[in-house]
């Protein structure tokens, strides 16, 4: 499966799609990018005169690139399941936020698979800004399976 086709299989669309490009993906992890447009609605109120990307959105971006893209890739390569009608549920996240992300910033997310068993995927994720500085890091876990399994 190509990287573009994998992005098309994500169960999100604008304005809640936080994956622009997948740079790398294999059985051990993923790497992708996203640029936070200044026109995103949450910037209107977070914060009034100094808009900053909310931590929950940074976590979502890490989850979409580092966990969901990887999960779809793993299901597809497993061969025992279809990646149609993907069902996803985040089960846990632990994130540490180190730097703010402002409107129009491009970030790069990397993930490393910690385990994938019984439809549960857990990854270590890191997000970097365009200067290569670590923005946030943590671990995210979720359940992922195809509609054909469930």
Mean pLDDT of the chain: 92
Angle in degrees, CA 84, 86, 91, rounded to 5: 165
* Pick among 1.10.1740.110, 3.10.129.10, 3.40.1710.10, 3.40.50.1220: CATH of 3-149: 3.10.129.10
- Would you state the pLDDT for residue 150? 45
The better pLDDT of the pair 74, 77 is held by 74
Q: Is the peptide bond before 47 cis (omega within 30 degrees of 0)?
A: yes
**Which pTM was predicted?**
0.93
Q: Is a pLDDT exceeding 80 seen at residue 90?
A: yes
| Number of C-beta neighbours around residue 70 at 10 A | 27
Over residues 5-49, the pLDDT tens digits come to 899 989 999 999 999 999 999 999 999 999 999 999 999 998 888
State how far the Cα of 97 lies from the Cα of 70, in Å rounded to an integer: 22
The pLDDT confidence band at residue 136, using thresholds 50, 70 and 90, is: very high
- Would you state the pLDDT for residue 42? 94
The pLDDT confidence band at residue 81, using thresholds 50, 70 and 90, is: low
- Annotated catalytic residues are 46
The stretch 72-79 carries a mean pLDDT of 85
Q: Where are the domains of the chain?
A: 3-149
């Amino acid at each position: 499966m190509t990287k573009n086709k994998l992005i098309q299989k994500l169960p999100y669309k604008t304005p809640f799609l936080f994956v622009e490009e997948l740079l790398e993906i294999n059985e051990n992890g993923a790497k992708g990018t996203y640029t936070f447009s200044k026109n995103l609605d949450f910037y209107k109120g977070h914060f009034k005169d100094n808009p900053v990307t909310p931590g929950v959105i940074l976590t979502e971006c890490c989850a979409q690139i580092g966990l969901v893209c990887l999960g779809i890739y793993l299901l597809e390569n497993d061969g025992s399941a279809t990646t149609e009608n993907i069902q996803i549920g985040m089960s846990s996240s632990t994130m540490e936020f180190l730097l703010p992300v402002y409107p129009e910033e491009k970030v790069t997310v990397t993930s490393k698979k910690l385990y994938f068993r019984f439809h549960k995927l857990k990854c270590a994720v890191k997000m970097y800004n365009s200067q290569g500085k670590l923005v946030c890091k943590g671990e995210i876990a979720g359940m992922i399976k195809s509609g054909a399994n469930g």
